[in-house]
């Protein structure tokens, strides 16, 4: 198995694997199946194999549509394969990470599907601290400027991903509704 990811110049343009702005889990129609087929093709082009187990973990992440913890994935796997053990899921996640198909969200210790194979150069990830929704921002100039500022301050990033914590619009609206309802009940 290859661990090095190809350079941007070597990447073949492909359709998005997962776009969080559209249908969250891509389960309607054939979009989830086409995302899995795309991931399979992506791995084959690189001499790697998306084994049935790796594919199932990726499928579970696609179905989730948001950042998911490894033990939640393990629970889901045990529904399908009762003998699944933590190393099984972690090995699959390690492969998916090294292949660039998923991101590890350090701030909440969870994993999410990479939005777009052609852009998986680790942009900026915005993570909802309430529901775990993740949005990828692909603004290379913004990222470069941010990295330059970080380096000018004497730091080096510990990982490729830059994570921003926030509250998604749906969670913000729900919080606002709760506040309004609470104020009306007084």
Show me where the domains of the chain are located.
Answer: 12-184
Determine the pLDDT at residue 4.
36
Going by the annotation, the residues of the binding site are 122, 128, 131, 168, 171
Nearest to 58 by CA among 39, 30, 82: 39
Q: Are 113 and 66 in contact (CB under 8 A)?
A: no
Write out the binding residues for Zn(2+).
128, 131, 168, 171
| Per-residue pLDDT tens digits for 28-85 | 335 888 889 889 998 999 899 999 999 999 999 999 888 999 999 999 999 998 999 9
Half-sphere exposure of 107 (CA within 13 A, CB side): 16
Instruction: Name the residue among 39, 25, 19, 38 with its Cα closest to residue 138.
Output: 19
Q: What is the reported pTM?
A: 0.72
Q: Which residues are annotated as a binding site for Fe cation?
A: 122
The CATH number of 12-184 is which of 2.60.120.10, 1.10.10.10, 1.10.220.10, 3.40.50.2300?
1.10.10.10
- The H or E element that residue 166 is part of is strand 162-166
Q: What is the pLDDT of residues 14-25, one digit of tens each?
A: 333 433 333 333
pLDDT, tens digit (0-9, with 9 covering 90-100), for 79-92: 998 999 999 999 99
């Amino acid at each position: 198995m290859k661990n090095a990811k190809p350079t941007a110049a070597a990447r073949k343009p492909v359709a998005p694997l997962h776009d969080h702005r559209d249908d969250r889990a891509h389960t309607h129609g054939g979009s989830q199946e086409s995302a899995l087929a795309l991931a399979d093709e992506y791995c084959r082009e690189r001499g790697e194999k998306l084994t049935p187990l790796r594919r199932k973990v990726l499928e579970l992440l696609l179905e989730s549509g948001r950042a998911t913890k490894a033990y939640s994935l393990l629970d889901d796997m045990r529904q399908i394969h009762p003998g699944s053990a933590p190393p099984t899921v972690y090995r699959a996640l390690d492969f998916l990470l090294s292949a660039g198909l998923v991101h590890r969200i350090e701030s909440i210790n969870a994993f999410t599907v990479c939005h777009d194979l052609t852009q998986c150069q680790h942009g900026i990830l915005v993570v909802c601290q309430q529901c775990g929704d993740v949005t990828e921002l692909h603004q290379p100039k913004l990222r470069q400027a941010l990295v330059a500022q970080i380096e000018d301050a004497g730091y080096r990033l510990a990982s490729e991903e830059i994570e921003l914590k926030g509250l998604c619009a749906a969670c913000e609206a729900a919080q606002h509704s709760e506040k309004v309802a609470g104020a009306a009940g007084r």
